[in-house]
Amino acid sequence: MTISIGNDHAGTEYKFEIIKHLENKGYIVLNFGTDTNDSMDYPDAIHPTAEAVEMGKAELGFIICGSGNGAQMTANKHQGIRAALCWNNELVALTRQHNNANILAIPARFVSLQQAIGFVDIFLTTKFEGGRHQNRVSKISCAG
């Protein structure tokens, strides 16, 4: 499976550790984020991360910034993207089970690295339940 990942300067450390974690598990990772701690504009990294998922070049994505809010808002501008901002294990599992989220926004300034890596594993292994949730997910997009 191919994973898309993007970050701003607040998420660089987390990104490197998440990439290492994913590659150790055999995932292919497309890195669209900054590799430095120099200030940068998060949309410059988040748009290509979301586009990779939107265009089918990656199955899922992870986006990391300080609060996760700006990254999530940016990713959700793309049709077919359901990016979820999560800060605990239960939210991560529910956004996959009920919302079929395809990008997880991680708030690096509010969760530990260990928590973030746990979120990644939950996001990758939790399946969409479908059923009653499919009708709701089908109504999310504004596309004609």
Q: Which of the residues 47, 65, 86, 133 is marked catalytic?
A: 65
Residue 68 is assigned to a ligand binding site: yes
Choosing from 47, 98, 133, 142, the catalytic residue is 98
In this structure, what token pair is assigned to residue 100? Answer: 């079929």
Q: Is 82 annotated as a binding-site member?
A: no
99 among the known binding-site residues? Answer: yes
Catalytic residue flag (residue 47):
no
User: Do the beta carbons of residue 2 and residue 124 sit within 8 Å?
Assistant: no
Q: For residues 135 and 66, give the distance between their C-alpha atoms in angstroms, rounded to a whole number.
A: 33
Residue count of the chain: 144
53: closest CA among 74, 24, 22?
Answer: 74
56 is in an annotated binding site: no
Report whether 11 belongs to an annotated binding site.
Answer: no
Catalytic status, residue 98? yes
Nearest Cα neighbor of 7 from 79, 67, 84 is 67
DSSP-derived letter for residue 128 is P
Task: Please indicate if the annotation marks 133 as binding a ligand.
Answer: no
Does the annotation flag 33 for ligand binding? no
Residues annotated in a binding site: 8-9, 66-70, 99, 109, 132, 136
Residues annotated in a binding site for D-ribulose 5-phosphate: 8-9, 66-70, 99, 109, 132, 136
Instruction: Indicate which residues carry an active-site annotation.
Output: 65, 98
